[in-house]
Each structure stands twice: as structure tokens, then as C-alpha cells.
Structure 1
Amino acid sequence: MRNPTLLATLAMTCSMPLWAVQAPVKVQVPTLAYDDQQIILVWEKPGNHADIVDYHVYANGKLLGSSNTNNGEVSPAKPYIDRFYQQDVHNFHHRIAIHSYTAQGLKPDTEYRFTVRSVDRNGKESAPSAAVAQRTTPVPALFDVKRYGAKGDGSTLDTAAIQSAIDACSVGCKVLLPAGTYKSGALYLKSNMTLEIAEGATLLGSERAEDYPRDGYIQYPYSTTVRPASLINALPRDPRKHQAFENIRIVGKGTIDGNGWKRNADVRDERGQPLPFYLPSDNTRYMHDGVLAKAQVERAVAEGMNVKDAYGQMRSSLITLRDVTNVFYGGFTVLNPAYHGIMNLETRNVVLANTTHKTYDANNGDGIEFANSRGAMVFNNFFDTGDDCVNFAAGTGADAVHQKAQEDAWIFNNYFRKGHGMVVAGSHTGAWIQNILAEDNVSDGTDAGLRMKSTNFMGGGARHVTFRDSAIRNTVKQAFIFTLDYNDPNAKLDYKRSTVAGQFRDINVSDVSVENAGTAAIEVKGDSQHNAFHQGLVFERVRFSGPAPVKIEGLKDSRFDNLRFSETNGANPWQVSNSQGLAFSDVEPAPKP
């Protein structure tokens, strides 16, 4: 006798495709990534995402649009990513996936329910993701700095007026810099506020050293180095006191300009767009090249500090936040810091989205740095920097073991143009840098891709780092570098050396394309004299085009699987020494015995 239910089940099974489109997972709203008009969503790709080419986002059951199209509207990285792939005429590079969406034009104080569906090459949608609900904020109380006396004429010092607006700001308020150029010294934010630099507005750092308190903060509790305040700070105004902060947003389509260095003639980038080029400098040239940098070093030297220490310690960064829970940076452009760009010290839950960093070639002009912090998202940003683009630090030497690790970060959908490295761990590795995921990024012209650097007396290291699904072209130096041979000529060794070397371990690199690396495709430098080996490096499904070799020294217990090397000019790329326990599988060309 036939079983109708069984027959129907078999018929349904036979009609199903062999591969069904999988829905994205962990759809979420990043920390403070919403206001009264917009909400940003991000999500993780499903496990089987090879045929997924886009994502559709729905609000309250209605289609809002696609992630690819939306990304072109909000992300300064997207036009550069698109051009990168347009130039890839041989289809060599790994194609990244865009997995964020900015819902705009929303109503204030209104709840929205979002779902996301994957879209395959045939336009077929997956089932919806799990829903996420988010309410926009009420319209915030507005504190316009002009109502507090700010002129915005580019020459009047507006520090007091802007600070008055910040101090008057009520919980949940917005301090607004409307169109204009606001020259200012150090500003101090407080909890539960938004600072908005509007389109057409520039917050311009004063060129006078005296406008930045000299005793701003100490980088680490065991340091003797005292750094000056930055242009924007979430720090105690009395550095002898501790103060915690929460819920700070810095947003807008305007510009934050540190006024650190003289500007050389602008250059044209690969899209024909103008980019600033700041005079590269060091502690012998700052007096000719610097603006604020020059003034701050000269002040410190006049007060008795030697030039090397003054140059390495007494220049202001653009933004410094310490001990802040919940931070959102969004939309603005960063220019010309005298020292670093955006510094996050001992913070929790920090998001950097849709920002533009044009700091090349300002000395030490990093993009964003996290130190001893937990929880970070960095996505949809354009980096053209004078130092590391995204950097992680965790303390120095023996005393760093008493600090918290730097951990839990997700870096995706960024474009890296210039910079010492796309994603960088070190050189301050003492308390460990761990649980870092960098994926779906594109780089063209950085010094290195994944850059890990420490010393044999720093301690700690980096572990549990994943770098995947990305495309790299034209690195000046290495595509991947893991080294204990790092030296910073401006660093002051004001800490107790560790008896343990830094180490890089449990690092996974997969599904990455590298074209035209400079000095090395992969470089590993341990310290075999001190029995300091890196270990647990895994490279899978990585392809290289170009003659750059693989240089490995001081590595153990690591695996290389499904690696391809082309355009090597007939040379075997592998140069391996003082290493042990290395496994190679399906590698062409393979290492020589």
C-alpha cells in the first residue's frame, strides 16, 4: 500500500536544491550605532557563503535595500574597493563580502524590527535571519557651540566656548559644531553625550603648545612617561584623579584636523581624488616640518627635556579616551595629528564606522589604536595613514602581566591605502593581544598586511587571531610579518624588561590573495638564541603572485595548506631555517627538502 505522506515527503525532498542559500547569523546593532534618524546593522556571514553575493535588509517586513548598494552610499571605503576589483582584470583576488547596512531617514523614538536575507548569484534569497529590534532615540537636546560664543572663523580661539557647551550639555544631549572652522585647544568630553562635527565644519587644533595641558595622562600605570592632552579627550581634567566615563559618541560629516605638520602639495589618488600629503619628519627635522608638533617639542626642550624624549612623548594625539564604556565614532574625517590619531585606553565596546583617515605621511599618525581594551568593531573606514592603520597594544615589559589583555575585536569592510600595516599587533604586547578577527578587507599600498611585532624583552604577545577573506596588493614590505626584531627609535624604555620574549601563536590566515608583495610574502622572525619561537601559525588557501619569498626563522608547530605561488621568476620562494614541526600540504611550489 502506498503511503501518501511518505510520497509527498520524498517529492518535496527531490525538488529541493542540493544547496540552499543560508541566512546570515548574529544580526546586531553595534554599540551606540543609532540615533534619532538612523540605525546601523552588522551581521556575520553564514558558514557556507561561497555563492552569496549580497544581502537584503528588511525593516518591519518591508525591503529597505541591499548591503552592496547601501555601502556605496555611506562608506568612504567602497569606491576604492570597487576600483580595486575593476583593476583585477585576471580575477586573481579574493572577493570580499559587505555585511553591514545603515538604515537612514527613520523616525525618532520609534522601534524597528530588522531581518536580513542572503542573496546568491542567481538572485535567490535565503530565509530571513533572526530578527533584531532597535528603537531610535528621541530628538536630543541641542547645544550649538555658536550660542556659547564660538566664532568658527578659523582664527579665533574657540576652546572656552566649545567647552562651555560641553559642560552645559544635559544627559543624552548633542553638542553641535555647525559649518565653520573652530580653532581649539584641548577639549574634555563627559558621559552620555554626542559631539557632532557637522558637514562643512572643521575642528582645527590650535598650533600653540600652551593650549594643551602638559600633564594629560600616563600611558600605563607603571610608566613615567606623561603625555599632553589631546585635542579631544575623555580624561580627568586633574590627571591625579581617576574618572570613568560611559556612552560617548563623536559623529558627523565634518573634519577633525590636528594641525600637527606642514602640508606638502596634495597628491592625486588612484581615483583622481586629492589627498593631503604631510611632510614626513623625525626628531631631527621637526623644527622645519612641524606646526603643533614643533611647538610642543620646543616647549618640552625649553623646560629641560632632551630632544629625543620630547619628540617621542610630548606631542598631542587627536583623540584620547580612557576608561570609557560604550563609544561610537562615525562619519567624520581625520587629518594631520601631531602624534597618534584616535587612542582608546582601557575602553570597552568601541565602534569606528564610516570614517576617513588622511594622515599620510605625518610621523606616528596612526589611524585608531586600542590598548588593554575589550570589545571593538572597525568597519567601512578608509585609511591613508602615516603609521599603523588599526593597532592593538597591551602594555610593556614585566609589569604588564598585572594589566588586562587587549581582546575581542572585529575589523571588516575597510580599505587600507597607506600605512605601516593594515592590522597591527604590537609592539606593546605585555598583557597579550587576543581574539582578533579581521575579514573582508582590501589593501593596496600599505607597508604590510597583517603586522605583528614585539621584542625578546616585551613579554606577552598575540594569540587567537584570524585574518581571512581579504585581498592585498602592492605591500611595500611584507604581506604577513611576525617578528621579535622590532625597534622604535623614539621609544623610551621606562619599564622593567620582561624575562619572557613576546610570542605570536595560534594565528590563522585563510582565503587571502596577495599580489606583488614587496620584501616578503610571509616573514617570521623569532629569537632562537633565547629559545623564543612563534608557534601555531596556520595558512590555508592563500595565493601569492609575485617574486617575494617566504622567510621563516624561529617558528615551530605550524601548518601551510593549499598555498599557491605564481610569477616567481622560476625561483622557489621558501627560505626556512631554525624552525621545527612545520607541515606542508598541497603547496606549489613546495619547499625544498
Structure 2
Amino acid sequence: MPYYARTVALRSLIAGLTVGCSLPSWALQAPSNLQVPTLAFDDQQIILVWEKPADHAEIKDYRVYANGVLLGSSNANNDRVSPAKPYIDRFYEQDTAKFHYRIGIHSYTAQGLKPDTAYRFTVRSVGGDGKESPDSPALVQRTTQVPALFDVKKYGAKGDGTRLDTLAIQSAIDACTPGCKVLLPKGTYKSGALYLKSNMTLEVAEGATLLGSERAEDYPLAGYIQYPYSTTVRPASLINALPRDPRQHQTFENIRIVGKGTLDGNGWKRRADSLDERGQPLPFYEPSDNTRYQQDGILAKAQVEQAVARGMNVKDAYGQMRSSLITLRNVKNVFYGGFTVLNPAYHGIMNLETENVVLANTTHKTYDANNGDGIEFANSKGAMVFNNFFDTGDDCVNFAAGTGADAVHQKPQEDAWIFNNYFRNGHGMVVAGSHTGAWIQNIVAEDNVSDGTDAGLRMKSTNFMGGGARNVIFRDSAIRNTVKQAFIFTLDYNDPNAKLDYQRSTIPGQFRDIRVSDVSVENAQGRAIEVKGDSQSNAYHQGLVFERVRFSGPAKAQIDGLKDSRFEQVVFSQNAGVNPWQVTGSEGLVFKDVQPMP
């Protein structure tokens, strides 16, 4: 993504020169790289994002102008459009000690626009005194024409939640002309696997639910194989952009899945609702595994039982034969926006070998569904994830790049920007691995807030996976109540449900050139920083840089198998006088202004 390549080096240099400086409002820098994310516009609205200036400490807000007229501020706009923003605000209301770094909101949704009309946008930084910077470079974007509408009810869908509407919905999709919108109006539409095509929008309207069928036979077994060298053909998901024959190659482009409605995978029984920190109900799904799926599962149970009946062992059936909610492969230009994700039998949203994918303003409530990730990218290029709420049964935002020796023939997973999200439950906020074979690279995660995830930045691989992750930046974020590790880089990951249907690499995975800066971690449990290479076999991680990171709570830093790395202004508090640093099997580490020193 151009954002990463053009700006990281310059921003890091300027930030280093301006730390501790305070600028008057007249010297505020304007935002840069104002852009409309891929397909983030239609006939009525346009979403804008921008890069904050290198020196942004004095910036409290941004104001957006259209054709020279003030539209509003990013903070107030985010209050209306982002499901993450109320939780972010509540997080800071609870921070009475002012321990945490304050994030900046750098997106805006312009609504109520006219179809097929060009708008000229600029953005200004706003200081604490209300004064503004000069304009950003201008951006001109045109709304689309009003799309042709294909209402699924006109194709026979009942929307009563009992009868299958698969054929009616698929008929509307098949009839859809280029640039059209397939609409699910208010109602509950039970369906098996659906197949999208290029140049279309699927809208699940407010009050509408697309409910996955509980029957295994409604999801064709000729779904997809995960990697070219994988041996298991997995079942189709509820929503797919895939060739009907998984061995064929088919490309797609320009797919949008939007709306204020709900996508419900119907995967697991719902144990109960719990109240979150805002007093809002959140679903809690049965936290099952391959020994309890029969008592806990709905679609998950049916699909595993079907696979076992065909002769597959339970472990492989459970790990390979459950449907995800959405799977897209070989799609260029994708926009997901506004909807709520519930209860997948397996993963949430899977993007395989895609290009330019945007996830914005969505809500993921999949806790504690086993393997219930939020969104995953594999061997893809260009991802933007912002303004989303994650409460998941697995990783929130996950990146993968293939397994073992054959992954060197695949494209890397690269170029992603993750910002302004709220992460609640989940195994990790931002996760690289465990499939690292073709490298995961060029990731920027900034201005995110988390309360209760197992880990913040989670990077995991093995001695036989190959590849790794590199050129990753995690910064300007606030984290509370990590359960296991705030930051983990490990070669000791093991998935008990994984099927080793690939040739092992003779090269271990490696995490290198990772920069963590300006992050606060409150009440860190377990490990604050955990680095686990394998110094005995000369498998080191290297080039980790931690700058201006502060921890409170009992957590410690345990480092083994790391070299050529730097820790500067890393502060531990509330550690009962115990030195938190435990360093073994490492070399070339530099500690500067660290409290307490190792």
C-alpha cells in the first residue's frame, strides 16, 4: 500500500526530532495522504481516511470540508458511524490517572450526498485551542449513480427465518447486472452457501439477518483448498466469491458487502448474554473443541458429523470441515462495511489471495466460538481495517502467508493499515501467523484501543514453518487487561487441530524489523513482552525496537533467542520491586532509559 512505503521512514525521522516539543496552533501540520479507501463510496456517501502528521501530539481533532464548506469533525462523525468509538470513549473515561496514550481519529464518513456528483474534500488538523492547520492536499471523488436494485423478495425469498431462501437469493445475485445492488430487506433469511460475482453490492439492510442453514448439505463440499499444496477440500462458506470447482482458477473484482443488518453463521449454541463495560448485551457462544462439538454445535456439529460419516477422523474433520462465514479468493477490490457478524461455525471473514480489501465500521460478536476469528488475510496485498468493534473467539485481525517449504512459491502477505478499532475479547489484536511461510510484511497498526484481549501484537510461528514477519509497526495505542502477553514473538506455537498436510521447511520462521512505540499497557497480566526463538538451533528473532512503551501491573519481560534489538524508554510500574527483565540466549541487545534496568 502506498501509505506504508512512502511515509514510514519520513515519519520516524520527524517524530524523533520533535519528541518533547510543543507547537503553537499556527504551526500545526496538515494531514497528508487524504484518500477514499477501495470501494468506500456509493450513491449517497463517501468515506475518507488520511494520515496524521508526523508531529501530531498537539492535534485534538480534524475538520473535514467539502467544496470549501465545513462538514464536521472526525471525532463527532465517528460517534455516529463507528461501533468502536463509544467503547474507545468509555475506555478513556475510565482512565482517571491519565496513564494511557490518546489515540487520534483519522477517518470521516460524508453522508447525504447526491448521486453521480463530484465533491472536493480537504481536511485540517485542529489544536487544543480550536485553531486549524492549513488545508491538506485536496481530493476529488464522485459518488456513483443510483444502482439497479435487485430485491431478493421479488425473486421469491420469504425472509421468515424458517424456509430456505438460498435459491431465491442466488437467483437475485445471478440476475444482478454490473454495478447492481442485491438487497435483503428487513426479515430473517435462512440460507445455505451463496456465490457472489464481480461488480456487485450485497446489502443486508437494517433489521435484516442472513442466517446460515444448520444443515451440512447446504454447503457444497467443493468449496476451496486453503493453499495450492493443501490436500483437503473444505466446504463452502455462507457467502463466497469462489470458483464452483476448487481446482479451477477464477478471478473476481469489485465486490461490496454492506448494510446495517446481521450475518449469522448459526455455528454454535448460545450459552447466554453478558453485559459489557457499557452495559450492552453481548452474546456468549459455547467454547467448544473436537471432543464437545456434538453437545455444543449447530452447523459445526452437522458438518463434523457429516465428514466423520464419510470416513474422516474426528480431529481432521473438526479442524478442516466447518464453514466460515465469508470466503473470498482472487478478488481485486473488496469493501465490507457496516454489518454485524455473529456465530460462525469456523472463521469469520476469510480473504485468500485478494488485493485491496477494506473492512470499516463493522461489529464482530463471535466470542467464544472456537476458531471464531474476526477477519483474516492470506497471501493478499493491500488491506485497510478501521472503525471496527471486535469481540471474538480467536484472533481479531490475522495475517497468514502459507505453510512449510512450498510456501516460497506463493506471494507474501503484505501492505496493511489497521487503525481506530476497539478490541475486546480475542486471542490477539493484530496477529501474524502461525502460517508465515511466504512472509508477512509491511503492516502498520496504530491508534487502536484494547481491553481484555489475550495479547496485543501476537506473532507466532514454528521451527518448520519458514518465512516469518518483517517490517511491522505497532504504535500510538492503548491496551488494558491483557490476559497472556502484551507482545509475543514465538517459534513455539502449536495448534492441536492443525493438519500437517505440507512439506516442512528446513528454515524456521523469524520475526524481524518490528517497531513498537508509544503504547501504554495497563494491568498487564502474564508476560509484558515474550520473545521465544531457539538459540540452541541458531533460530533468532532480530531487529525488535521498543520505544516509549509503559506497563503497569505484575507482568514481566521474558526474552530468549533475540539479537540486535533495542529497548528505549520502556517503563514498568507496580511490579513490587521485582526486576521484570528475564533475558537469556540473546545477544546484541541495547537498553536505554529503561526502568528498571535489566
Q: TM-score range by the shorter chain?
A: over 0.9
1:65 aligned to 2:75?
A: no
The within-5 A match list for 1:34-433 is 34-433=41-440
Give me the identity figure in percent: 84
Letter in 2 for 1:466: I
| Structure 2 stretches lacking a partner, 5+ long | 1-22
After TM superposition, give the deviation of residue 240 of structure 1 in Å.
2.9
**CA spacing shift, 1:481–1:53, aligned 2, 3 Å:** same
- CA distance in 2 between counterparts of 1:452 and 1:241 reads 32
Q: Deviations over 1:29-60 (max 9, x none)?
A: 00000000000000001111110000000000
Match of 1:31 among 8, 22, 38: 38
Amino acid in structure 2 at the alignment position of 1:225? T
Within the alignment, does 1:20 sit opposite 2:51 as a pair? Answer: no
Structure 2 counterpart SS, 1:544: strand
Aligned partner of 1:522 among 524, 529, 543: 529
Q: Which amino acid aligns with 1:76?
A: P
- Quick one: which of 565, 578, 588 aligns to 1:581? 588
AA in 2 matched with 1:486 = Y
Letter in 2 for 1:560: F
Describe the shift of the 1:90–1:18 C-alpha distance in structure 2 as closer, same or farther (beyond 3 A).
Answer: closer
Partner SS for 2:582: strand
Deviation at 1:316, TM superposition (A): 0.1
Match of 2:19 in 1: none
Distance 1:34 1:477 in 2: 39
Q: In the TM superposition, what is the alpha-carbon distance from 1:241 to its structure 2 partner? A: 1.8
Secondary structure class of the residue paired with 1:587: coil
Which whole-Å CA distance do the structure 1 matches of 2:25 and 2:414 have between them?
39
* Alpha-carbon separation, structure 1, partners of 2:522 and 2:531: 19
d(CA) in 2 for partners of 1:384 and 1:27?
30
Instruction: Select 1:484's aligned residue among 491, 496, 502.
Output: 491
Q: C-alpha displacement at 1:298, in angstroms?
A: 0.2
User: Contact conserved, 2:25 with 2:132, CA < 8 A, in 1?
Assistant: no
In the alignment, structure 1 residue 444 sits paired with structure 2 residue 454: no
- 1-structure distance, mates of 2:581, 2:128: 38
Per-residue CA distance 1:318-360 (angstroms, 9 max, x = gap) = 0000000000000000000000000000000000000000000
The one-character-per-residue Cα deviations of 1:501-532 (angstroms, maximum 9, x if unpaired) are 00000000000000111111000000112110
Number of equivalent positions = 576
Amino acid at match of 1:135: R
SS of equivalent residue, structure 1 residue 162: helix
Match of 1:13 in 2: none
Rg: which structure is higher? Answer: 1
Q: For residue 19 of structure 1, report the CA deviation from its aligned partner.
A: 6.5
**8 Å Cα contact 2:567-2:591 kept in structure 1:** yes
Give the Å deviation of 1:580: 0.2
Structure-2 change in CA distance of 1:529 and 1:437 (3 Å): same
Kept in 1, the 8 Å contact 2:339–2:363? The answer is yes
Question: Distance between the aligned counterparts of 1:476 and 1:543, measured in 2?
Answer: 17
Structure 1 Cα separation of the partners of residues 26 and 473 of structure 2? 27
Give the Cα–Cα distance (whole angstroms) in 2 for the partners of residues 393 and 229 of structure 1.
20
**2: CA distance, partners of 1:529 / 1:314:** 38
1:19 and 1:304 map into 2 onto residues whose CA distance is 72
SS at match of 1:264: strand
Task: Specify the code of the residue in structure 2 equivalent to 1:229.
Answer: A
Q: Report Cα offsets for 1:93-146 as digits up to 9, x if no partner.
A: 000000000000000000000000000011010000000000000000000000
| C-alpha RMSD over aligned residues | 0.8
State the TM-score, normalizing by the size of structure 2.
0.96
Distance 1:518 1:216 in 2: 41
CA gap 1:17/1:478 in 2 versus in 1, 3 angstroms:
closer
| TM-score computed with the length of structure 1 as normaliser | 0.97
Change (3 A) 1:491 1:18: closer
Give the stretch that moved more between structures: 502-511 or 239-248.
239-248
Give the 4+ runs in structure 1 shifted more than 2 A: 16-19
